[in-house]
Amino acid sequence: MRFYRGTHSYYCGVDLHARTLYLRLADHQGTILVDENLPCEPAAFLRAVGPYKHDLVVTAECIFCWYWLADLCTQHGITFVLAHALYLKAIHGAKAKNDPLDADKLLMLLRGGVIPVAYLYPPEMRASRDLLRRRLYFSRKRAELFSHIQNTFHQYNLIKPSGNLNSAKHRAQLAAYFTEPAVRASIEADLQLATVYDALILDLEKKAEQQARLDDPMSLVLLRSVPGVGKILALTLLYEIHTIERFPRVQDFSSYARLVRPEHHSAGKRVGSGGAKIGNAHLKWAFSEAAVGFLQKNPRGQALVKRLRKRHGRGKALSILAARIGRATYFMLKHQRPFDPERFFAN
Protein backbone atom coordinates (compact mmCIF):
# COMPACT_ATOMS: atom_id res chain seq x y z
CA MET A 1 0.00 0.00 0.00
CA ARG A 2 1.29 3.45 -0.96
CA PHE A 3 0.18 6.76 0.57
CA TYR A 4 0.20 10.23 -0.94
CA ARG A 5 2.53 12.42 1.13
CA GLY A 6 2.56 15.60 -0.94
CA THR A 7 2.18 18.97 0.78
CA HIS A 8 -0.05 21.65 -0.75
CA SER A 9 -1.73 24.89 0.18
CA TYR A 10 -5.21 23.49 -0.51
CA TYR A 11 -6.76 20.02 -0.29
CA CYS A 12 -10.00 18.79 -1.82
CA GLY A 13 -12.00 15.62 -1.16
CA VAL A 14 -14.60 14.64 -3.76
CA ASP A 15 -17.32 12.08 -3.13
CA LEU A 16 -17.98 11.22 -6.75
CA HIS A 17 -21.13 9.75 -8.28
CA ALA A 18 -22.46 9.29 -11.79
CA ARG A 19 -24.50 12.53 -11.88
CA THR A 20 -23.39 14.52 -8.85
CA LEU A 21 -20.32 15.06 -6.70
CA TYR A 22 -19.91 16.40 -3.20
CA LEU A 23 -16.86 18.61 -2.88
CA ARG A 24 -15.17 19.76 0.31
CA LEU A 25 -12.06 21.94 0.05
CA ALA A 26 -9.84 23.19 2.88
CA ASP A 27 -6.57 25.02 3.30
CA HIS A 28 -3.44 23.59 4.92
CA GLN A 29 -4.68 24.52 8.41
CA GLY A 30 -7.99 22.69 7.86
CA THR A 31 -10.26 25.70 7.38
CA ILE A 32 -13.17 24.69 5.13
CA LEU A 33 -13.32 27.01 2.13
CA VAL A 34 -15.73 25.18 -0.20
CA ASP A 35 -18.50 22.77 0.82
CA GLU A 36 -20.88 22.10 -2.08
CA ASN A 37 -22.96 19.47 -3.80
CA LEU A 38 -22.39 19.93 -7.55
CA PRO A 39 -23.50 18.34 -10.81
CA CYS A 40 -20.88 16.25 -12.59
CA GLU A 41 -20.04 19.01 -15.03
CA PRO A 42 -16.51 20.26 -15.73
CA ALA A 43 -17.59 23.89 -15.62
CA ALA A 44 -19.19 23.53 -12.18
CA PHE A 45 -16.15 21.78 -10.75
CA LEU A 46 -13.67 24.31 -12.17
CA ARG A 47 -15.78 27.18 -10.93
CA ALA A 48 -15.69 25.79 -7.38
CA VAL A 49 -11.94 25.10 -7.25
CA GLY A 50 -10.77 27.85 -9.60
CA PRO A 51 -9.47 30.30 -6.95
CA TYR A 52 -7.32 27.59 -5.36
CA LYS A 53 -6.09 25.50 -8.30
CA HIS A 54 -2.60 27.06 -8.34
CA ASP A 55 -1.59 24.75 -5.44
CA LEU A 56 -4.45 22.28 -5.05
CA VAL A 57 -4.60 18.51 -4.73
CA VAL A 58 -7.85 16.65 -5.40
CA THR A 59 -8.74 13.09 -4.41
CA ALA A 60 -11.64 10.77 -5.26
CA GLU A 61 -12.28 7.05 -4.98
CA CYS A 62 -11.52 4.79 -7.93
CA ILE A 63 -15.12 4.07 -8.84
CA PHE A 64 -16.30 3.48 -12.42
CA CYS A 65 -16.67 7.18 -13.34
CA TRP A 66 -13.34 8.67 -12.24
CA TYR A 67 -11.89 9.09 -15.77
CA TRP A 68 -13.35 12.47 -16.57
CA LEU A 69 -12.42 14.08 -13.25
CA ALA A 70 -8.81 12.84 -13.39
CA ASP A 71 -8.41 14.01 -16.99
CA LEU A 72 -9.98 17.39 -16.21
CA CYS A 73 -7.58 17.98 -13.31
CA THR A 74 -4.60 16.96 -15.45
CA GLN A 75 -5.64 19.32 -18.24
CA HIS A 76 -5.80 22.27 -15.83
CA GLY A 77 -2.60 21.52 -13.92
CA ILE A 78 -4.35 20.29 -10.77
CA THR A 79 -2.74 17.40 -8.87
CA PHE A 80 -5.15 14.45 -8.76
CA VAL A 81 -4.81 11.47 -6.43
CA LEU A 82 -6.88 8.37 -7.13
CA ALA A 83 -7.81 6.74 -3.81
CA HIS A 84 -7.87 2.95 -3.60
CA ALA A 85 -11.46 2.16 -2.60
CA LEU A 86 -10.71 -1.22 -0.96
CA TYR A 87 -8.32 0.42 1.50
CA LEU A 88 -10.71 3.18 2.59
CA LYS A 89 -12.05 1.44 5.68
CA ALA A 90 -12.57 4.80 7.35
CA ILE A 91 -15.39 5.39 4.86
CA HIS A 92 -16.88 1.97 4.16
CA GLY A 93 -16.64 0.71 7.75
CA ALA A 94 -18.21 3.79 9.33
CA LYS A 95 -21.41 3.63 11.35
CA ALA A 96 -22.81 6.71 9.64
CA LYS A 97 -22.25 7.34 5.94
CA ASN A 98 -23.39 10.10 3.61
CA ASP A 99 -21.90 12.33 0.91
CA PRO A 100 -20.66 15.19 3.14
CA LEU A 101 -19.09 12.73 5.60
CA ASP A 102 -17.39 10.77 2.81
CA ALA A 103 -16.00 13.94 1.21
CA ASP A 104 -14.79 15.16 4.61
CA LYS A 105 -13.01 11.87 5.37
CA LEU A 106 -11.30 11.92 1.99
CA LEU A 107 -10.20 15.48 2.71
CA MET A 108 -8.88 14.62 6.18
CA LEU A 109 -7.02 11.53 4.94
CA LEU A 110 -5.48 13.57 2.14
CA ARG A 111 -4.33 16.31 4.53
CA GLY A 112 -2.93 13.71 6.89
CA GLY A 113 -0.90 11.96 4.18
CA VAL A 114 -2.74 8.65 4.51
CA ILE A 115 -4.72 8.44 1.28
CA PRO A 116 -4.06 4.95 -0.20
CA VAL A 117 -3.02 5.55 -3.80
CA ALA A 118 -4.41 3.60 -6.75
CA TYR A 119 -2.67 3.64 -10.13
CA LEU A 120 -3.80 6.49 -12.36
CA TYR A 121 -3.93 4.69 -15.70
CA PRO A 122 -3.10 7.19 -18.48
CA PRO A 123 -5.80 7.95 -21.07
CA GLU A 124 -3.59 7.04 -24.07
CA MET A 125 -4.01 3.27 -23.49
CA ARG A 126 -7.07 3.29 -21.25
CA ALA A 127 -9.62 2.77 -24.02
CA SER A 128 -7.76 -0.25 -25.41
CA ARG A 129 -7.57 -1.81 -21.95
CA ASP A 130 -11.32 -1.35 -21.52
CA LEU A 131 -11.91 -2.79 -25.00
CA LEU A 132 -10.08 -5.99 -24.03
CA ARG A 133 -12.02 -6.22 -20.79
CA ARG A 134 -15.24 -5.91 -22.77
CA ARG A 135 -14.05 -8.62 -25.14
CA LEU A 136 -13.45 -10.92 -22.15
CA TYR A 137 -16.98 -10.19 -20.91
CA PHE A 138 -18.46 -11.18 -24.28
CA SER A 139 -16.31 -14.33 -24.34
CA ARG A 140 -17.69 -15.38 -20.97
CA LYS A 141 -21.23 -14.73 -22.13
CA ARG A 142 -20.60 -16.96 -25.15
CA ALA A 143 -19.21 -19.64 -22.83
CA GLU A 144 -22.46 -19.46 -20.84
CA LEU A 145 -24.37 -20.24 -24.03
CA PHE A 146 -22.15 -23.26 -24.68
CA SER A 147 -22.66 -24.45 -21.11
CA HIS A 148 -26.43 -24.21 -21.52
CA ILE A 149 -26.27 -26.29 -24.70
CA GLN A 150 -24.16 -28.97 -23.00
CA ASN A 151 -26.43 -29.01 -19.96
CA THR A 152 -29.47 -29.45 -22.18
CA PHE A 153 -27.90 -32.54 -23.75
CA HIS A 154 -27.38 -33.92 -20.23
CA GLN A 155 -30.89 -32.91 -19.24
CA TYR A 156 -32.40 -35.09 -21.97
CA ASN A 157 -29.76 -37.83 -21.56
CA LEU A 158 -28.41 -37.35 -25.07
CA ILE A 159 -24.81 -37.84 -26.11
CA LYS A 160 -23.40 -34.60 -27.46
CA PRO A 161 -21.54 -35.17 -30.74
CA SER A 162 -17.79 -34.79 -30.50
CA GLY A 163 -16.29 -31.54 -31.69
CA ASN A 164 -15.40 -28.08 -30.50
CA LEU A 165 -18.31 -25.72 -29.81
CA ASN A 166 -16.10 -22.85 -31.00
CA SER A 167 -16.55 -24.25 -34.53
CA ALA A 168 -19.62 -22.76 -36.20
CA LYS A 169 -19.72 -25.74 -38.59
CA HIS A 170 -19.90 -28.20 -35.71
CA ARG A 171 -22.60 -26.17 -33.93
CA ALA A 172 -24.89 -26.02 -36.96
CA GLN A 173 -26.37 -29.51 -36.45
CA LEU A 174 -26.81 -29.50 -32.69
CA ALA A 175 -30.42 -28.31 -32.61
CA ALA A 176 -31.50 -31.25 -34.82
CA TYR A 177 -30.78 -33.69 -31.98
CA PHE A 178 -33.83 -32.44 -30.07
CA THR A 179 -37.34 -33.47 -31.15
CA GLU A 180 -39.26 -31.16 -28.80
CA PRO A 181 -39.95 -27.89 -30.72
CA ALA A 182 -39.56 -25.67 -27.66
CA VAL A 183 -36.21 -27.23 -26.71
CA ARG A 184 -34.98 -26.96 -30.30
CA ALA A 185 -36.00 -23.29 -30.35
CA SER A 186 -34.00 -22.69 -27.16
CA ILE A 187 -30.89 -24.34 -28.61
CA GLU A 188 -31.26 -22.45 -31.89
CA ALA A 189 -31.48 -19.16 -29.97
CA ASP A 190 -28.24 -20.02 -28.14
CA LEU A 191 -26.53 -20.89 -31.43
CA GLN A 192 -27.65 -17.71 -33.17
CA LEU A 193 -26.47 -15.56 -30.30
CA ALA A 194 -23.15 -17.44 -30.19
CA THR A 195 -22.66 -16.68 -33.89
CA VAL A 196 -23.17 -12.99 -33.18
CA TYR A 197 -20.63 -13.15 -30.36
CA ASP A 198 -18.15 -14.92 -32.67
CA ALA A 199 -18.11 -12.05 -35.15
CA LEU A 200 -18.11 -9.38 -32.44
CA ILE A 201 -15.26 -10.95 -30.45
CA LEU A 202 -13.14 -11.45 -33.56
CA ASP A 203 -13.62 -7.81 -34.56
CA LEU A 204 -12.63 -6.56 -31.11
CA GLU A 205 -9.53 -8.77 -31.13
CA LYS A 206 -8.39 -7.35 -34.45
CA LYS A 207 -8.85 -3.76 -33.29
CA ALA A 208 -7.02 -4.39 -30.02
CA GLU A 209 -4.11 -6.08 -31.76
CA GLN A 210 -3.79 -3.28 -34.32
CA GLN A 211 -3.67 -0.69 -31.56
CA ALA A 212 -1.17 -2.73 -29.52
CA ARG A 213 1.25 -2.78 -32.46
CA LEU A 214 1.17 1.02 -32.31
CA ASP A 215 1.27 1.40 -28.52
CA ASP A 216 4.04 -1.02 -27.56
CA PRO A 217 5.07 -3.52 -30.25
CA MET A 218 8.28 -4.54 -28.46
CA SER A 219 6.53 -5.60 -25.25
CA LEU A 220 3.95 -7.47 -27.30
CA VAL A 221 6.69 -9.53 -28.97
CA LEU A 222 8.38 -10.21 -25.63
CA LEU A 223 5.15 -11.41 -24.06
CA ARG A 224 4.42 -13.72 -26.99
CA SER A 225 7.81 -15.38 -26.40
CA VAL A 226 6.49 -17.00 -23.18
CA PRO A 227 5.27 -20.56 -23.83
CA GLY A 228 1.53 -20.70 -23.31
CA VAL A 229 0.96 -16.98 -23.92
CA GLY A 230 -0.98 -16.44 -27.12
CA LYS A 231 -2.44 -13.37 -28.74
CA ILE A 232 -5.21 -12.66 -26.22
CA LEU A 233 -3.12 -13.29 -23.12
CA ALA A 234 -0.29 -11.13 -24.49
CA LEU A 235 -2.71 -8.27 -25.19
CA THR A 236 -4.25 -8.62 -21.74
CA LEU A 237 -0.86 -8.57 -20.02
CA LEU A 238 0.32 -5.63 -22.12
CA TYR A 239 -2.62 -3.37 -21.29
CA GLU A 240 -3.17 -4.45 -17.68
CA ILE A 241 0.51 -3.89 -16.84
CA HIS A 242 0.84 -0.74 -18.97
CA THR A 243 4.47 -0.13 -17.97
CA ILE A 244 6.63 -2.37 -15.83
CA GLU A 245 8.38 0.73 -14.45
CA ARG A 246 5.42 1.36 -12.17
CA PHE A 247 6.57 -1.61 -10.06
CA PRO A 248 9.87 -0.94 -8.24
CA ARG A 249 10.29 -4.60 -7.23
CA VAL A 250 9.17 -7.96 -8.52
CA GLN A 251 7.40 -8.49 -5.18
CA ASP A 252 5.22 -5.44 -5.89
CA PHE A 253 4.31 -6.84 -9.30
CA SER A 254 3.51 -10.31 -7.92
CA SER A 255 1.30 -8.78 -5.25
CA TYR A 256 -0.55 -6.60 -7.76
CA ALA A 257 -1.15 -9.63 -10.02
CA ARG A 258 -2.49 -11.65 -7.06
CA LEU A 259 0.24 -14.25 -7.51
CA VAL A 260 1.27 -14.34 -3.84
CA ARG A 261 -0.72 -14.81 -0.65
CA PRO A 262 -0.44 -11.80 1.69
CA GLU A 263 0.41 -12.83 5.24
CA HIS A 264 -0.60 -11.15 8.48
CA HIS A 265 1.87 -11.09 11.38
CA SER A 266 1.51 -9.75 14.89
CA ALA A 267 3.96 -9.91 17.81
CA GLY A 268 6.28 -12.04 15.72
CA LYS A 269 3.58 -14.63 14.94
CA ARG A 270 1.73 -15.42 11.75
CA VAL A 271 -1.98 -14.82 12.37
CA GLY A 272 -3.38 -15.65 8.94
CA SER A 273 -3.68 -14.01 5.57
CA GLY A 274 -5.97 -11.56 3.81
CA GLY A 275 -6.30 -9.10 0.97
CA ALA A 276 -6.88 -11.85 -1.59
CA LYS A 277 -9.26 -9.63 -3.55
CA ILE A 278 -6.89 -6.65 -3.65
CA GLY A 279 -4.99 -6.51 -6.93
CA ASN A 280 -5.69 -6.93 -10.61
CA ALA A 281 -8.13 -9.77 -11.31
CA HIS A 282 -7.38 -9.65 -15.05
CA LEU A 283 -3.67 -10.26 -14.49
CA LYS A 284 -4.50 -13.10 -12.11
CA TRP A 285 -6.68 -14.68 -14.81
CA ALA A 286 -4.07 -14.16 -17.53
CA PHE A 287 -1.22 -15.76 -15.57
CA SER A 288 -3.47 -18.65 -14.47
CA GLU A 289 -4.36 -19.32 -18.12
CA ALA A 290 -0.70 -18.97 -19.11
CA ALA A 291 0.25 -21.64 -16.55
CA VAL A 292 -2.16 -24.12 -18.15
CA GLY A 293 -0.97 -23.26 -21.66
CA PHE A 294 2.66 -23.47 -20.54
CA LEU A 295 2.27 -27.22 -19.97
CA GLN A 296 1.05 -28.02 -23.48
CA LYS A 297 3.76 -29.74 -25.56
CA ASN A 298 6.31 -28.72 -22.92
CA PRO A 299 7.93 -31.79 -21.28
CA ARG A 300 10.17 -29.69 -19.04
CA GLY A 301 7.20 -27.73 -17.79
CA GLN A 302 5.22 -30.91 -17.18
CA ALA A 303 8.13 -32.40 -15.23
CA LEU A 304 8.34 -29.24 -13.10
CA VAL A 305 4.64 -29.33 -12.24
CA LYS A 306 4.84 -33.04 -11.50
CA ARG A 307 7.50 -32.36 -8.87
CA LEU A 308 5.50 -29.47 -7.42
CA ARG A 309 2.33 -31.57 -7.37
CA LYS A 310 3.96 -34.25 -5.22
CA ARG A 311 4.80 -31.66 -2.60
CA HIS A 312 1.87 -29.23 -2.81
CA GLY A 313 -0.99 -30.87 -4.75
CA ARG A 314 -2.27 -30.06 -8.25
CA GLY A 315 -4.04 -26.76 -7.56
CA LYS A 316 -1.17 -25.20 -5.66
CA ALA A 317 1.34 -26.55 -8.17
CA LEU A 318 -0.37 -24.59 -10.95
CA SER A 319 -0.49 -21.50 -8.74
CA ILE A 320 3.25 -21.76 -8.10
CA LEU A 321 3.87 -22.13 -11.83
CA ALA A 322 1.71 -19.04 -12.53
CA ALA A 323 3.74 -17.07 -9.96
CA ARG A 324 7.01 -18.16 -11.59
CA ILE A 325 5.71 -17.11 -15.00
CA GLY A 326 4.74 -13.76 -13.46
CA ARG A 327 8.23 -13.24 -12.06
CA ALA A 328 9.78 -14.18 -15.41
CA THR A 329 7.45 -11.72 -17.16
CA TYR A 330 8.52 -8.94 -14.81
CA PHE A 331 12.22 -9.38 -15.52
CA MET A 332 11.62 -9.89 -19.25
CA LEU A 333 9.87 -6.54 -19.51
CA LYS A 334 12.30 -4.88 -17.08
CA HIS A 335 15.37 -5.90 -19.09
CA GLN A 336 13.67 -6.05 -22.52
CA ARG A 337 14.72 -9.65 -23.13
CA PRO A 338 12.63 -12.57 -24.47
CA PHE A 339 11.73 -15.61 -22.41
CA ASP A 340 14.78 -17.70 -21.51
CA PRO A 341 13.81 -21.34 -20.74
CA GLU A 342 17.25 -22.16 -19.34
CA ARG A 343 17.03 -19.38 -16.77
CA PHE A 344 13.41 -20.25 -16.00
CA PHE A 345 14.07 -23.90 -15.24
CA ALA A 346 17.39 -23.26 -13.51
CA ASN A 347 15.71 -21.90 -10.37
pLDDT at residue 242 greater than cutoff 70: yes
Mean pLDDT over all residues of the chain? 94
pLDDT of amino acid 347: 67
Which range has the worst mean pLDDT, 22-36, 43-57, 270-284? 270-284
Residues 262-315: tens digit of each pLDDT: 878 888 888 777 777 789 999 999 999 999 999 999 999 999 999 999 999 988
Angle at 242 between CA 239 and CA 245, to 5 degrees: 155
DSSP annotation of 84 reads -
Give the DSSP per-residue string, 217-267.
HHHHHHHHTSTT--HHHHHHHHHHH--GGG-SSHHHHHHHTT-S--EEEET
Which range has the worst mean pLDDT, 19-28, 81-90, 155-164? 155-164
- Asked whether 180 and 90 are in contact (CB, 8 A), the reply is no
Say what the pTM is. Answer: 0.91
The proportion of the chain whose per-residue pLDDT surpasses 90, expressed as a percent, equals 84
Between the CA of residue 140 and those of 198, 201, 283, 322, what are the distances in Å?
A: 12, 11, 16, 21
Average pLDDT over residues 244-270: 90
pLDDT of amino acid 32: 97
pLDDT at residue 168 greater than cutoff 90: no
The proportion of the chain whose per-residue pLDDT surpasses 70, expressed as a percent, equals 100
Residue whose C-alpha is closest to residue 40's, from 19, 67, 61, 65: 19
- Asked whether 68 and 42 are in contact (CB, 8 A), the reply is yes
Which range has the worst mean pLDDT, 20-34, 106-120, 259-273? 259-273
Between the CA of residue 204 and those of 116, 131, 262, what are the distances in Å?
A: 34, 7, 35
Alpha-carbon gap, residue 295 to 289, rounded angstroms: 10
Which range has the worst mean pLDDT, 6-10, 135-139, 220-224, 269-273? 269-273
| pLDDT band at 152; cut points 50, 70, 90 | very high
Buried b (16+ CB within 10 A) or exposed e, 220-248: bebbbebbbbeebbbbbbbbbbbebeebe
- How many Cβ atoms are within 10 Å of 275's Cβ, its own excluded? 15
